[in-house]
Homo-oligomer: A and B are copies of this chain.
Amino acid sequence: MTEQASVSTQQIVEKVWLSIAERRLRPGVQLKEGQLAAIFDVSRARIRQALTALEREGLVTIIPNRGAFVCHPSVDEARDVFAVRRSVEACVVERIGTSITKADVTRLRNHVAQERIASAKDITTDIIKLSGGFHLLLAEISGSDFLFGMMRDLISRTSLITAVYRNTARFNCGPDEHDEIVEEIAKGNFKRAAALMEHHLEHVETELDLREVRDISHDLRAALA
């Protein structure tokens, strides 16, 4: 049976997540269940599961009896997410120091290599996936399911924040700074790796335009004009 039964919930979540991260789905847009069910050719029940998962990750807000809408994170929330990320990722790097293997270092280097390829070819989809994937890979290597799950949520939220507040065309969570971090880890210099990570996250945050307070309704009207 080469026939695929149906699209899994996780696949739907990933597709929608990518659409949001790529700005194809703008904040405020309603994600109607019937519509999505038709697009993915699955039952509404599965869509509903996907939407609750997306809500947990902070990408959509579900208003009872109204529906699911793409979130519009505030500037304050953006700062909070980055603040927590700095702490959690420091935790991750610290934990990696206790259990890392040579195979793990290889995986990290391969990942950064892939990032370089995507960056060189300028494939936006891959760049987004891989830049988040790097941080997720670190969490995976840390061996803590809890930290992994937490990072998954934080990265999803960061993706949305980046989609909303990024003003440059280029992505700042690039392979160069990732590479430096990996090399410090490879040397066993975890304190320095953690410091580099913190600097990296600060860099990503400062490149965002987190000054102005954007009005969602204004954006909608402008889009419709």
Whether, in the assembled complex, A58 has its beta carbon less than 8 Å from a beta carbon of chain B, the answer is yes
Within 8 A of B (CB), among A64-118: 73, 76-77, 80-81, 83-84, 87-88, 91, 95
Whether, in the assembled complex, A30 has its beta carbon less than 8 Å from a beta carbon of chain B, the answer is no
Number of residues in A with C-beta < 8 Å to the partner?
A: 23
Give CA–CA (A84, B58) in the complex, Å. Answer: 19
Task: State the majority secondary structure of interface residues on A.
Answer: helix
- A51 CB → nearest B CB, Å: 12
Selected contact of A56 from candidates B56, B80, B91, CB within 8 Å? B56
The answer on a CB contact under 8 Å between B91 and A146 is no
The answer on a CB contact under 8 Å between A77 and B145 is yes
Known: A52-B52, A56-B56. A146 touches B88 (CB 8 A): no
Selected contact of A84 from candidates B56, B73, B88, CB within 8 Å? B88
Within 8 A of B (CB), among A123-149: 143-147, 149
Whether, in the assembled complex, A201 has its beta carbon less than 8 Å from a beta carbon of chain B, the answer is no
Known: A52-B52, A56-B56. A144 touches B91 (CB 8 A): no
Whether, in the assembled complex, A204 has its beta carbon less than 8 Å from a beta carbon of chain B, the answer is no
- A112 CB → nearest B CB, Å: 25
The answer on a CB contact under 8 Å between B84 and A91 is yes
- A94 CB → nearest B CB, Å: 9
The answer on a CB contact under 8 Å between A144 and B88 is no
Chain A residues at the B interface, C-beta cutoff of 8 Å: 49, 52, 56, 58, 73, 76-77, 80-81, 83-84, 87-88, 91, 95, 143-147, 149-150, 157
